[in-house]
Every structure is written in C-alpha cells, then in structure tokens.
Structure 1
Amino acid sequence: MYSDRALVIGAGFAGLLAARVLAESYGDVVLVERDAISPDTGYRAGTPQACHPHALLARGAEALETLFPRLGEEMEDAGAVRADLGSDFLIRGPSGWAPRDYLGLSVLSMTRVMIERIIRGRVLRLPNVSLVDCVAVDGLLHDRGTVTGVHGRRGDRPFADYADLVVDASGRDSKLVSWLAEFGVHCPAPMIVNGHVTFTSRLYEVNRDLKLDWKTAFEITHAPDARRGGSVSTVDGDQWFLTLFGADGDAAPTDDDGFLDYATTLHCQDIAEIIKTATPVSKIYQAGNLRSRWNRFHQVPNWPRGLLALGDSVMSLNPVHGQGLTLAALNCTTLRTLLQEHDLSSEPLVFQRAIARTAKIPWTSATTSDLGWSARKLPLGTRLLRWYTGRAFEGVPGNRRVYHAFIRVSQMLDHPAALFRPAVLFRVLLGRTLSGRRPRATER
C-alpha cells in the first residue's frame, strides 16, 4: 500500500527508524523535531540520556541491519568498538566474576550521539524524507475520531502540518496522553516501576599506558545487597564512557574527589584506576529517578485513526537494563511487517497490540529486577522469579553454561525460558559449576 504523507514527531533514534520504514509505504515522510539539528549535532535537550551509556543489544543490532544494510560496518569505520560478549567483557556479579570465554557473539560500543548521527545521515538521504527542526508540538489536529496532523510553534510563529498518518516517537517526555485527553480519548493509568537507580557518568580519553585486557567492564547492582556498581566501555575509538550506579537511594557524588572515592568502593578497581589516571573530556552528568513506564495504548478502545505511537512514548524502561534502543528497533521492524498487510492509518490498534506483545518480556525482565528494591510485599510469581534469578547469579562465577544462557537472554536473542532448560536448571539448583578462564582485573 502506498499512501500520501506521514509525519513523525521526534527525530531521535525511534523517530529516525520509523521514518526509514514509512518511506517504503508513503510518498512523503516528514520528521518534526523540537531541537535544532545540524550535521554535527552532539548532545541535545531532546535526548538527555545521551550523556550516559546506551547499549545496543545483539538482537537490536540484527534488527538495524535489516533496515540499514552494512550499518555495523559503517559504525565501526566511524570508531565504534566491537567487543566479544565473553572474552572482551569483564563482568562482576554479586557473587563474583563471570567466566571470560570467547563466545563468538559481539556487540558494538558507541555513544548515542554517534549512532544517531550515522542513522540520521542514512535516513535524510532518502529522497522522500525531510526534517523540520525547532518545532515545539503542542497537540494533535483531529476530525471526527481521526488524527489529521499536529500543531505547535516554530520559533515565534504558529506551526501546523497535516498527514494521513502521525507517529509519536517523542520519547520519555511524550505528551501524547494529555493530547488525546483534549479530544476525549482517555488512556489507562500507566504502569510505573521505580528502579531507584542513579547514573553518574563521565567521558575520558583512553589512557594507553593502562594495560587492560578488556573492552567493557561492568559491576552489577542487585537487590537487596549490591547497591553500588559501575561500568566503563571503550567507545568512538579513543574514549572511555564511565558510569557509576547507585541503587536504593545511593548515588555517586558529582565532584571529582567524591566521584573517585565512590569508585574505590567497587570490587573492580580498574574503574577507579581510570578515574585516577585518564583525562576527562566531559563534565560529570547525573540522572536519577530512573523508572520504567508503560503507557497501555493497546487497551484504548476508541484509539483514533491516523495515529501510532512507538518507542519510549509507549514503554520507557530503566536504562540500566540497556533494552530501550533494541525495543525501539523491534517496534520499527514490526511496523515494517504490518505495513505490508494493513492500512495502519485505518487500523492503528493492530500495531499497538503487536508491539505490546513484544514488550511483555523486556518489561517483566526489567521490573522484576527493579522490584527487588521495593519495600512492599511482592506477588508470589515475582518472588519466585527473583529467587531463581538470584540463585542463578550465585552460580555464574566459573559456570560457563549458566553464564552463556544469561548472556543470550540478556541480549534478547533467547526467550527467558532458556534459563529453565535442564542443562541450566540442574546447574542452578544443584550448584554444579564448570570452571572457566579466570578474569583478570584489579580487585579491592
């Protein structure tokens, strides 16, 4: 089906991917963006999390390759760092170090700025895609149950644009719920789980004098005892992206001395050594109150025609779990598939229900972990899942089979049921271990 005009609110990661897909079915696709966009755009107000690490999981990378062939090669050419999830990752869990065997399964490390810049370049080279920036969208235009466009302001002038299909990809700060309420469409209250996690991040120049045998180091927070953690990844060729995590009300200070002191309390002292010896190339950024929210648009019976929502405007997950970019990519591959069979401007709930089904597993995974910090009594199913996950974490050090199963599930390559396969289940319940290569790291 080839329609006339589609409009996407938001030219961030999800919006760019949506525009790429819509360009196959619509003659004219317009991205409407609040921020000023230029070829060298860096950090911007519309993506406040860009000051912190962004993980593109293995499944997300596969989805992107279907939309942008050879994208991984282009990102590597621009400086993204490819790392094997086994041998190049140094991971410390609550009970010790994970095995470091070569898995043959790799991911790319890069900043949010880099990945957006490369994808934006690809999308805006499409002949039927255009970008209008510096637009503050204030609401939706509608007519008798059909969304027909958006209105707002561009600078000091009124702005309005019309389309056959409007896609909200405006992210965590989406105002879609209130826009819908203005013309009588009311959504269920969102599901919200507060992860009680704070990120404190800084970029450093890679110090070549430090002889480190990993590309990413990660120390995990885990309820109820491991309240502090951290990560550092080699990104964009010659930088380290270093983040300190604090859970259950803990948070790293944002002054130089406090930032270092906090890092010295971690088991992985390579993180503190980087802070001591490497040259900072950014200030220290902090983001708190990191929660997960699910707007259940798929349950709105009078959802208007001509409107879709995807990405963080539907489900925004606590970024400590690293699932957001991948879930947005999966939303857009679903959009591509459904556009081949449906007129989604007339049947928008077909799409909203499809992405809700995709969202169930990452939602359960992220919130089950975060609910460990909750003081209230959890449902029996959640308690059992947390017990089994905790038992599996205890078995990770030296146990290749359990660790590899965790990796594949965490990268969204396997269903969580893989953690209950007999070969894994027996090792978790009986405590059997298979020794792997010992990690190399400086530990306090």
Structure 2
Amino acid sequence: MYSDRALVIGAGFAGLLAARVLSESYGDVVLVERDQIPADAGHRSGVPQAHHPHALLARGAEVLEGLFSGLGAELRAAGAVQADLGSDFASRAPAGWAPRDPIGLSVLSTTRVTIERIIRRRVLKLPNVSLVDGVTVDGLLHDRGTVTGVHGRRSGEPFTDYADLVVDASGRTSKLVSWLAEFGVHCPAPMIVNGHLAYTSRLYHVNHDLRLGWKTAYEITHAPTTRRGGAVSSVDGDLWFVTLFGAGGDIAPTDDDGFLAYATTLECQDIAEIIKTATPASPIHRATNLRSRWNRFHKVPNWPRGLLALGDSVVSLNPVYGHGMTLAALNCAELRTLLQEHDLAKEPLVFQRAIARTARIPWMSATTTDLGWSQKKPPRGTRLMQWYARRLFEVIPGNPQVYRAFLRVSQMVDHPVALLRPAVLWTVLTGSRPRARQR
C-alpha cells in the first residue's frame, strides 16, 4: 500500500466497484453517499433508473465475477434468472424473429435493486471500507493543483473529509465539471447525443398459467421506421419486468388502459398478454430524454492530482442499450490493473485516458443508433454504419451464424470487427450464405 486513504463520491454500482478495487491498495476507503441507505435498501431516489430493467452484459458479468468470486451463484440464489441469449430469448427485429438456437452465452436477469444490495453487502464487509450516507457533497478541497478531499453538508451540518485520492462515481448527476471550474480547471464541452427515446416500465407477478417458451422477449425500435418496441424479462425469481419503448416522438402512456393499448400494437403479443393477465407488482414508471453524454476529462491538460472520475460521471450512455453497468465494471477493471503499476493519485490522466479508450466502442454503438432518429444529416461514416446495421438486421431472421456474431458483439464479448469477417460480411451484403469456395 503506497497511500493511506481513498474517498469515493457515490455508493451506487460504480462507486461500490471502485471501493472494492481501491481496498486492495489503500488502507482506508470511505464511500460518501447522498442517499440514506438502510441495510435492506430498496429503490433509492439517487437511482431513478432502478424502476426500469438493467442489463448486465456477458462481459460485465465476467468482470464482476473476477471482483466478487461466486457472485453469479449468489445472484441465482437471490432469484436471478439465467438465460441463454439464443434459446431462451425471443427477439424480434423489424425483418422478423431471430433464430432460437443455443449459443452457449448466457446472462443473469435481475433487478438493479437486487444486484446493488448484494454487491453493497459484499463491499461493506471488507475491513477497510466504510460508508457515510446522507452527505451532500458541494465541492472539492484542493491545494496547489491537488485535490485533498471534499466538503458539503450532512444533516444540516458542515461536512469535510480528507483523502489522498478522491474518486467521483456520483453518476449522471455529477457536478464535477462545475467543481473543477471553481478552482480554474476548465473541461471541454461534453459530447451529447439525444436519442429521442423513452421507455415506460412496470413489474408484474409471474402468471404461471401463461406457458411461454422464453425467459426474455423483446422487440426493438429501429430508425427511421420502427418507432415502437417492448421487452419482458423474468427477474428475481417470480417477477416479470415489462418495458415499452418509444422513439421518434412515440411514448407509451402511464395509465393502465393506455399501457395495454400501446403493447397491443407490437408484433410480440406475449407482452400484451402478460399485461392483461398478470398482477401488477409496481406502479408504471416512465423515463424520457434518454441521451448519451461524454465528459472528455482525458483532454484536460491541467487535470488535478488526487482526483479520478469513472462510470456515468464520465460517459453516460442511453440506458436503452444496457451498456452502463458493464462500462462501469470495465472502468474498475482498468483501475485495478493500473493501480498495480502506477500511483494514480499522482498520474490521474493515465487512468482517464485508459477509460476513454474503453468507452469508444460502446459510445459508437449507442450513438450511431440514436443518430438515426436525428433530423440532421449525420456524418458519412455514421451513415455507412447505419446502413450496415440495417442490412445486418434484415438478414438476422433465419441466419444463426450472423445472429450469433451480432450477440457476441452486442454483449461486448467480441470486438465489432467480428461483424466484418468474410462469412458475416458476405451474408450481410448479399443476403445469402457463402458457399465453401466463396468463403
């Protein structure tokens, strides 16, 4: 241990993972959280997205298992549903239904509340990690280009805490840009892409009388013509999470009749059948203004020592695509690797540049899709990727090889270049499978 104390702003998913990693290099790690967190914490005001499904991609699950041995088994014991992405998913693209062949790549389906509660319990059992909740952080303490702690309020009283390293993991509502400006560190304008998407969600108790041949079903929106979509997944043992998507100005209603009427317009009629026959387990919640934002901290030449930022504080992606938790996990995996070779309190830009490289592919994936709904003409490179994506979705029905390649890329297991391998490329461009000699 080359230093004594680290402080993490935010005890959500990204903050908990950061504390787990920092506990290996710092003698004392303190999580500072705005919300009050009881031992059996449910939905927190600081995580409004918890009312909607959260996807932990296959790559993210792999990283988490490396940080928390046996986590997958613990999640399954808590009711998480394991599903093969091929055989257990009924997936509808605009051109038709995807193949239902097993591909040997599975995911665990659970709620954000459950996964965060289990990880929090694990992290707070570490002897050198502690939590201080109910704290509103108002700014950073600093001295000659070095961040030395935070100041704010707790229960109406002034709050101050000092640390050798401060990590901002406060998420989409992070105020780090304005905090830095207070002592003369100015960040470039963030990149923002508005997907003009909305989703509306509700939990239902599983109706065991409905005999459905899947564990998750979903129907995607696709620019510029398919404005409505939906998804239903089995979570936490005995619940269904139903979500209705809207794009290009369409938004699912939040009243019972309107919610059902919207679902009946989908090709996947199982979703409407669940809404008609299952018992609601929650109110209907809606999220709008689903945009992606990238704070380019890696481009700040006078970035202060003693400060790191990760997770949604840096790159917050449109949550429809399910990259958020996996990207946060990858950030913390990078943190763990770099701490073995660097004193990141003295070399913080090494970390900020590393996670910027990690963000490029998920950023490209999310924003390329969202720009399809924009009224402005996107750059030529983006138009080419959108054209290829449309061709890809046209050939997925009835083509297990292409669908398998797509799933492995979408789960961040394979690099997107896998979608340009000769066999996949030929099928996408011609609509037919290559013969042996052509391959």
Q: Secondary structure at the match of 1:289?
A: coil
Q: Shift of the alpha carbon at 1:64?
A: 0.3
Give me the CA root mean square deviation. 0.7
Q: Is residue 2:60 matched to residue 1:64?
A: no
Q: Shift of the alpha carbon at 1:86?
A: 0.3
- Could you give the per-residue CA deviations for residues 219-239 of structure 1, whole angstroms, max 9, x where no partner exists? 000100010000000000000
Name the residue aligned to 1:326.
326
Structure 2 residue identity aligned to 1:314: V
Q: Secondary structure at the match of 1:151?
A: strand
- Could you give the per-residue CA deviations for residues 102-141 of structure 1, whole angstroms, max 9, x where no partner exists? 1111000000000000000000000000000000000000
Q: Shift of the alpha carbon at 1:433?
A: 5.3
| Residue correspondences, number | 434
Name the residue aligned to 1:181.
181
Distance in 2 between residues matched to 1:323 and 1:172, nearest whole Å = 14
Distance in 2 between residues matched to 1:39 and 1:417, nearest whole Å = 44
Q: Secondary structure at the match of 1:401?
A: helix
Q: Secondary structure at the match of 1:193?
A: strand
Q: Secondary structure at the match of 1:141?
A: strand
Name the residue aligned to 2:168.
168
Give 1:84-123 correspondences, 5 Å limit: 84-123=84-123
Name the residue aligned to 1:343.
343
Structure 2 residue identity aligned to 1:356: A
Give 1:17-416 correspondences, 5 Å limit: 17-416=17-416
Name the residue aligned to 1:10.
10
Q: Shift of the alpha carbon at 1:2?
A: 3.0
The answer as to whether partners of 2:60 and 2:327 remain within 8 angstroms in 1 is yes
Distance in 1 between residues matched to 2:163 and 2:428, nearest whole Å = 54
Structure 2 residue identity aligned to 1:404: R
Q: Secondary structure at the match of 1:187?
A: coil
Q: Shift of the alpha carbon at 1:312?
A: 0.1
Distance in 2 between residues matched to 1:418 and 1:201, nearest whole Å = 33
Structure 1 residue identity aligned to 2:254: T
Structure 2 residue identity aligned to 1:266: L
- Could you give the per-residue CA deviations for residues 22-77 of structure 1, whole angstroms, max 9, x where no partner exists? 00000000000000011211111111100000000000000001100110000001
Q: Shift of the alpha carbon at 1:179?
A: 0.3
Relative to structure 1, the CA distance from residue 228 to residue 433 in structure 2 (aligned partners, 3 Å threshold; closer, same or farther) is: farther
The answer as to whether partners of 2:423 and 2:433 remain within 8 angstroms in 1 is no
Distance in 2 between residues matched to 1:283 and 1:112, nearest whole Å = 16
Structure 1 residue identity aligned to 2:392: A
Structure 2 residue identity aligned to 1:205: H
- Could you give the per-residue CA deviations for residues 364-386 of structure 1, whole angstroms, max 9, x where no partner exists? 01000000001111111110111
Q: Shift of the alpha carbon at 1:269?
A: 0.2
Structure 1 residue identity aligned to 2:23: A
Distance in 2 between residues matched to 1:378 and 1:290, nearest whole Å = 19
Distance in 1 between residues matched to 2:231 and 2:189, nearest whole Å = 34
Q: Secondary structure at the match of 1:28?
A: strand
Distance in 1 between residues matched to 2:317 and 2:433, nearest whole Å = 33
Q: Shift of the alpha carbon at 1:4?
A: 0.3
Q: Shift of the alpha carbon at 1:156?
A: 1.0
The answer as to whether partners of 1:28 and 1:128 remain within 8 angstroms in 2 is yes
Structure 1: any 5+ residue segments left out of the alignment? 435-444
Distance in 2 between residues matched to 1:199 and 1:14, nearest whole Å = 23
Distance in 2 between residues matched to 1:405 and 1:370, nearest whole Å = 22
The answer as to whether partners of 1:398 and 1:433 remain within 8 angstroms in 2 is no
Q: Secondary structure at the match of 2:279?
A: coil
Name the residue aligned to 2:437.
none
The answer as to whether partners of 1:395 and 1:433 remain within 8 angstroms in 2 is no
Distance in 2 between residues matched to 1:218 and 1:35, nearest whole Å = 33
The answer as to whether partners of 1:201 and 1:244 remain within 8 angstroms in 2 is yes
Q: Shift of the alpha carbon at 1:432?
A: 1.1
- Taking structure 2 as the reference length, the TM-score comes to 0.98
Q: Secondary structure at the match of 2:211?
A: coil
Q: Secondary structure at the match of 1:357?
A: helix
Distance in 2 between residues matched to 1:286 and 1:300, nearest whole Å = 36
Structure 2 residue identity aligned to 1:367: T
Distance in 1 between residues matched to 2:2 and 2:104, nearest whole Å = 41
Q: Shift of the alpha carbon at 1:157?
A: 0.6
Q: Shift of the alpha carbon at 1:249?
A: 1.3
- Could you give the per-residue CA deviations for residues 173-219 of structure 1, whole angstroms, max 9, x where no partner exists? 00000000000000000000001110100000000000001000010
Q: Secondary structure at the match of 2:426?
A: helix
The answer as to whether partners of 1:12 and 1:116 remain within 8 angstroms in 2 is yes
- Could you give the per-residue CA deviations for residues 314-343 of structure 1, whole angstroms, max 9, x where no partner exists? 000001110000000000000000000000
Hey, which bits of structure 1, 4+ residues long, moved more than 4 A? none
Distance in 1 between residues matched to 2:221 and 2:182, nearest whole Å = 41
Distance in 1 between residues matched to 2:304 and 2:46, nearest whole Å = 26
The answer as to whether partners of 2:55 and 2:109 remain within 8 angstroms in 1 is yes
Distance in 1 between residues matched to 2:280 and 2:54, nearest whole Å = 19
